[in-house]
Chains A and B, each alone.
Chain A
Amino acid sequence: MLPLALAGLAVALVWVAPRVLARRTSLRRSPRAALAAWQAASLGGVLAAVSVTPAALPAVLGREGVADHPGLVALALLVSAAVIARLLVSGHLVGTRIRSARAEHRALVDVLGARDDHGVVVLEHPTPTAYCIPGRGSRVVLTRGVLDALPDDQLAAVLAHERAHLRARHDLLLEFFTVLDRSVPPMLRSPAALAEVRLLVEALADRAAVRRSGAVATARAMVAIAEGRAPELGMSAGTSAPVRLRLIAAGPHSALSVVAYALAVLAVATPVGLLGLAWL
């Protein structure tokens, strides 16, 4: 019974939860708690998946029988190990690709612009853009275009946004979800989940920008950058910017975060509890 429950839980957390969470747009107003729920659901899903076969041992063999069947025990652990190995391999592949892309980009940026004492590099380019290169040797990159287009308070908002990404290591969060996405079979993947996590990370950094310069300056900076970039991009669509602006307008909603944190605790505690029960 318990191994089946764990298998069901794994499916629920890996397949159902991302689809449900991605649709709960109200959670976006407490992005920190929502991200905690996302992480917990993923972590809980992995825990449940690797617990299925270890939990099946006492159920199938009886608690005393386990010692008599070392072969089956080894097989059960092998299945769990395979799941973990799958995660580690995608983690390594994704991590290597991301780090080499960053290193290559940082090398270009560093010869093109001088870095100030705060790790900010300015590129001589008219298109207004701001981004950060996270990880070891992190940089915030601004273009001449963005320096020319934005007044000081809006520029401060943009910098606060990028620094929030770097300080809170949002890149690790995105890497974590990218790795999970690559680890599951394509039919289980949820592009909407990845997009939602990305949006939540942006909403969280926007909070830092609003704290620094206020909602109006932050919103104006977004519109100015979006307008400045449009001509070069042509037909690209699907930006999260209007959603982010409306989240800034709506402001935080702390009551929802209690629900999200409760879900987070539940998502991790349930598989641990079920595995414990199987062996008690």
Chain B
Amino acid sequence: MPHSTNAPRLGDLERVVMERLWDAATAAGGNASGSTVREVHESIEQDRDIAYTTVMTVLDRLAKKQLVTRERDGRAWRYLPADSREVMTARTMRRTLDDMEVTDRRAALLHFLDGASTDEIADLKAALAEVEARAAGGSAAPGSAPPPGR
């Protein structure tokens, strides 16, 4: 989808801020205490122009979406990613794969493929052979034509 403006999209900034928080958490190892708005702002400012208040707004949005948690530290907030990037990715994937029995979910996200059992994969391969045979030889019987090389 083309975008007419060159201004950074808020969604992009959310990702950039999340990445800084993840990086900070990784760098701190087990005893990560989170980052303040000022720390995140300083980190991003090394690469691009960004207003302090923008970082504040973005962190606030991320907290509302429960993607980050925050704790008071004196007069400032310290922000932490709600989960590691890996855990969050796995959770996102699980939602796309597991909740398939729910009709609403099926209408919410459209998947290229729903899950297949081992038997069904065997069946799929047989069907693939039919497609390949048809493409290779036109009227050739399934299985009689050598599958074209990949």
A residues touching B (Cβ–Cβ < 8 Å)? 94, 97-98, 101-102, 105, 107-115, 117-119, 123-125, 127, 129-134, 138, 141, 143, 151, 158, 161-162, 165, 170-171, 174-175, 178, 181, 194, 198, 201, 214-216, 219-223, 225-227, 229-230, 232-233, 235-242, 245-246, 248-249
Binds A, one of B25-33, B36-44, B82-90: B82-90
Q: Are A239 and B125 in contact, with the CB atoms below 8 A? A: no
Complex alpha-carbon distance, A108 and B108, angstroms? 15
Q: Are B128 and A219 in contact, with the CB atoms below 8 A? A: yes
Q: Are B89 and A123 in contact, with the CB atoms below 8 A? A: yes
Number of chain B residues close to chain A: CB under 8 A: 54
Q: A118-B1, A165-B110, A215-B135 are in contact. Are A233 and B93 (CB under 8 A)?
A: no
Q: Are B93 and A216 in contact, with the CB atoms below 8 A? A: no
Q: A125-B90, A138-B1, A215-B135 are in contact. Are A242 and B120 (CB under 8 A)?
A: yes
Q: Are A226 and B121 in contact, with the CB atoms below 8 A? A: yes
Complex alpha-carbon distance, A112 and B93, angstroms? 11
- B113 touches which one: A98, A226, A246, A249 (CB < 8 A)? A226
Q: Are A229 and B97 in contact, with the CB atoms below 8 A? A: yes
What's the minimum C-beta distance from B19 to chain A, rounded to whole angstroms?
8
- B125 touches which one: A114, A129, A223 (CB < 8 A)? A223
Instruction: Kindly name the residue among A113, A221, A226 whose own CB sees the greatest number of chain B CB atoms within 10 A.
Output: A226
Q: Are B116 and A216 in contact, with the CB atoms below 8 A? A: no
Q: Are B89 and A125 in contact, with the CB atoms below 8 A? A: yes
Q: Are A130 and B111 in contact, with the CB atoms below 8 A? A: yes
Complex alpha-carbon distance, A235 and B115, angstroms? 9
Q: Are B117 and A178 in contact, with the CB atoms below 8 A? A: no
- CB neighbours of A216 from chain B (8 A): 131-132, 135, 148
Q: A110-B15, A124-B89 are in contact. Are A230 and B110 (CB under 8 A)?
A: no
Complex alpha-carbon distance, A108 and B96, angstroms? 12
